[in-house]
Structure 1
Amino acid sequence: MIKELEWDSNYWNINIANCIYENEDEIVEYLNGKNVDLIQTQVNINKTEDIRKLENLNFKFIELNVTYHINIESNKMYGTNFTVANKCNLNDIQNIANQVFISSRYNVINIEKTKEFYKMWAKKSIMGELDDVCLIQKDEMNQTEGFITIKAIDENSARIGLIGVKPGCQNKLVGTHLLNQAKIYLLAKGIKSLFVSTQGSNIRAQNFYAKNKFQVVDISVWLYLFL
């Protein structure tokens, strides 16, 4: 199934479609009838035959996507508080986003617009328009050290959208404190299952989630067809 991505196309100023791969004929037929600049698809890494078929159609490997999961209920947490970000925190959060989200699969489209994309993601999550909520961690001087955004998947599970720690505050357990806030926030809503995805090239993030008891549940590849 191939679907045009209206929002993505408008933002990146190119015609983008997403493909849930079923067969080669569908892609060929689509290309004959549509004006598209980029088709993206995400395929489980175990589906090697599908990946080869897509590569034969000139799809190019862009990045690995690693998805983690944790059962919140089975993990001890300390404290009962979380801090929800608001408009007053916007500049601090966007400054962090601008510094930490440097490597992205979107860089192959437009690096400068990628930076703005993550800043916009953070802003919309503060407003509850993209992810549901943005939580922040502050130091003893009331300075923002990091943030995390969360979105409910269903009544039992949620996912982390973004998590960013200010340069200079890394390796100080800020990320772990943000995860703890997220767990407390979600448990208060009766949600006990938490997912997060990161890039295969982001070894630091992978080690971070493993250290915090997340387990890998899926690995997939992003493939792009540029036209």
Structure 2
Amino acid sequence: MSVHGNLQPLSWESEFFGLQTAKLQLASEAPLITEAMLACHALVQAKVPAANVAQLDALSQLGFQFVEGEMDCCLAITAQDGLPAVPQRWRVANTDSLDSVRDIARGAFSLSRFRSPWYQPGDSGRFYTLWAEKAILGTFDTHCLVIQGTDAQPLGFVTLRSIAPGEARIGLLAVRPDSTGQGVGKKLMIAARQWCAQQAISRLYVATQSSNIAALNLYLASGAKLVSSAYWLYR
């Protein structure tokens, strides 16, 4: 099977990681992709539905390698989500929380597609730290919710953004290392559902790596249903 698509340069990622990067957008009506076209970039990413075995095989023939799986889930939000039986200690993070949220994000995402041998050690931590910061500033994800401990310091955070009328997506969810195993992840999911109900959002999406079983179990236990799966490949 041949591979047809368009190569989309990823300017921001290229500059941030110091690695000329493009994403292959697969499309049957697009031009035929050749090795010479791919060789113009230091790294090319492709995301393929897990069921498209023929496309996966074709990309393998062009030198693409498996990096990580991705599981996408969706939660149905109802008005009842805005009326919890037990009040939750969460708030929308502001710039006062920047340092604490950065510290949590820096070491929370070891299961990441931004890993060696394709990226340098520390790149993943830098990437997700900036992502969390942008959520607080409202420049990528638009909101960051934090669960506060008794000392008013964040025990964990979750970032969100609207993606369509009535729909939102969780970007990042992370728990402070010394607070794992204490139900903070569950509280963050409740906070996200409450926020969605307050915003009249009826569907909340969240994706995770297929290797992150703990995260997937959290989302399913929170009422999410698995709606799609895909594979990331790099060349």
TM-score category, normalised to shorter length:
over 0.9
Question: Deviation per CA, 1:81-105, whole angstroms, max 9, x where unpaired?
Answer: 7401011111111111122112210
Q: Pairwise CA RMSD of aligned residues?
A: 1.9
Q: Structure 1 residue 5 and structure 2 residue 13: aligned?
A: no
Q: Distance in 2 between matches of 1:130 and 1:217?
A: 24
Unaligned 5+ residue runs, structure 2? 1-5
TM norm structure 1: 0.92
5 Å matches for 1:1-227? 1-22=6-27, 26-28=32-34, 31=37, 35-73=40-78, 76=81, 78=84, 79=87, 82-108=90-116, 109-225=119-235
Give the length in aligned residue pairs: 224
SS at match of 2:27: coil
Contact 2:35 2:62 in 1 (8 A): no
Q: Distance in 1 between matches of 2:182 and 2:105?
A: 18
Contact 1:80 1:184 in 2 (8 A): no
Question: Deviation per CA, 1:60-82, whole angstroms, max 9, x where unpaired?
Answer: 00000000111011865514874
- Give the Å deviation of 1:186: 1.6
Q: Distance in 1 between matches of 2:56 and 2:89?
A: 45
Q: Distance in 1 between matches of 2:139 and 2:46?
A: 25
Q: Percent identity?
A: 29
Question: Deviation per CA, 1:154-183, whole angstroms, max 9, x where unpaired?
Answer: 111010000010112122121111111111
TM norm structure 2: 0.89
Matched AA of 1:145: L
Q: Distance in 2 between matches of 1:42 and 1:20?
A: 8
Q: Distance in 2 between matches of 1:74 and 1:124?
A: 29
Contact 2:148 2:155 in 1 (8 A): yes
